[in-house]
Structure 1
């Protein structure tokens, strides 16, 4: 099912806006203690690794992002983002695939 920004779960909206604002502490608070993030083919497990990944990712490149749409299934919320910045290639469309548990992110996969 297609989902508009305003209809996304609050946890996902909080994460995405905190990520855009480079607020890694606020973003990390949206994850379960045992969460797993996969980004660029690498897994980050647990709060400590996720916090380190967030700190690195918010400082590595400067970019802007635009919400391009979302779809939801019973288990996954897939949020599309268009990024433009000073990273290699300069432009990319990414999918942020969230799995939630008890209103926290238990799994996030970021890929084109």
Structure 2
């Protein structure tokens, strides 16, 4: 499956366990919603992904990607050191050009 460069970069950053590169794919005012919590802005997003990566060592395997205009959904198999690994998650994205304006993760 061919992913757009920005989404491919996001997946690569996560699989490289590189929270700085991961956060660089978001706008400065971006938001993330995951597991009932929300994070706003580059610093909070970087802190969130850094903590989650250290705790769970997540690896993403893209399964499906659909995009309509600035709205996209990436379906991934996430594996790591968490109960129930691997799990299929949906990344609901709002894009702003090559950057991500918002990300909501659901099961």
- Which blocks of at least 5 consecutive residues in structure 1 are unaligned? none
Distance in 2, matches of 1:29 and 1:85, equals 22
Distance verdict in 2 for CA 1:13–1:53, change over 3 Å: same
Q: Indicate the RMSD between aligned Cα atoms, in angstroms.
A: 1.4
> How many pairs were matched up?
107
- The one of 44, 59, 63 equivalent to 2:54 is 59
Match of 2:18 in 1: 23
- Structure 2 residue 100 is matched with structure 1 residue 105: yes
Q: Which SS does the other structure have where 2:69 is aligned?
A: coil
- The one of 66, 76, 80 equivalent to 2:71 is 76
- Which blocks of at least 5 consecutive residues in structure 2 are unaligned? none
Match of 2:27 in 1: 32
**Over residues 78-101 of structure 1, what are the superposed CA-to-partner deviations in whole Å (9 max), with x where a residue is unaligned?**
111112332022221001111111
